[in-house]
Amino acid sequence: MALLMLLAAFAAIALVGLVVVGTLIKVVLWGVFLPIRLLLGVLLLPLLFVIKLVVGTVLLAVVGPIVLVATLVAIVASLAAVVVPLLPLFLIGFVVYLLVQSSKPAVPETLR
């Protein structure tokens, strides 16, 4: 059992060593390549803006009509969801309106 614990301790120390060495290599490479990354970033920034403009325009031309149609469908569906449950009330109101109109006496043309 002690041999197994010793082996686990060596494995943990080796893992920590690998992490430390990997971190040191990453820091050194990051420091070496930072000026190159900054220079390329400054030089390629206008190109990046142009690419974003072109891609955005193409996407707007393609996705814009789809979004417009989807918005109109959503508006129609929302209105239908509100109006359909109220149809019985509208029908009752229309019947009441017809009853009231039919019970009024006819007005002669001369009095209008």
Question: What DSSP line would sit under the chain, residue for residue?
Answer: -HHHHHHHHHHHHHHHHHHHHHHHHHHHHHHHHHHHHHHHHHHHHHHHHHHHHHHHHHHHHHHHHHHHHHHHHHHHHHHHHHHGGGHHHHHHHHHHHHHHHHHSPPPPGGG-
2-30 burial, b if ≥16 CB within 10 A, otherwise e? Answer: eeeeeeeeeeeeeeeeeeeeeeeeeeeee
Would the CA dihedral through 28, 31, 35, 36 be positive or negative?
positive
Q: What percent of the chain has pLDDT over 70?
A: 97
What does pTM read for this prediction? 0.46
Structure confidence by residue, pLDDT tens digits, 46-96: 898 999 999 999 999 999 999 999 999 999 999 999 999 999 999 999 999
Q: Give the other-Cβ count within 10 Å of 67's Cβ.
A: 10
Residue whose pair of structure tokens reads 């569906």 in the numeric block: 77
pLDDT mean across residues, the chain: 92
